[in-house]
Amino acid sequence: MTWLLYAFISAGASAITAILAKIGVEGIPSTLATAIRSIVIAVLLSLSVVALGEHRVVTAVSRRSIVFLVLSAFATGVAWLAYFRALQLGPASRVAPIDKLSLPLTILLAAFWLGEPVGWRVAGGVALMTIGALLTIS
């Protein structure tokens, strides 16, 4: 499969995640909900790594990769904690679009830190995504 197909699968799964999480967070602390979700994800991913035989290359992972993956994990943890709390306090139809402001932020950070090009189409898309997300705040 291509990266684009995986990206669309991710988008669909993320949309479903928002709805399921909104229902699941009702009546329990958002941090506990995030922990339950994280445990399930850890088990699922651990089983996948073993099933695909990827556990055999753990010793070949560079120190640089480990550092950046750990930093990424911390950022993910903060994002999940904030997202679940936002879902607990607000409607999913408002929370999810604001959460998706990560899209234009990612594009800007990729241009700045990774040197990825941003042409007029990408810049226009970033502007439209940002405007669209901000219009949902009302």
Per-residue pLDDT reduced to its tens digit, 2-54: 988 988 888 888 889 889 999 999 999 999 999 999 999 999 999 999 999 99
The residues near 38 (Cβ < 8 Å, ≥ 6 apart) are 77, 80
* Cβ proximity of 118 and 111 under 8 Å: yes
Q: Whole-angstrom Cα distance, residue 49 to residue 82?
A: 28
Q: Whole-angstrom Cα distance, residue 37 to residue 21?
A: 9
Q: Whole-angstrom Cα distance, residue 22 to residue 28?
A: 11
pTM above 0.85, yes or no: no
Domain locations in the chain as residue ranges: 3-90, 100-138
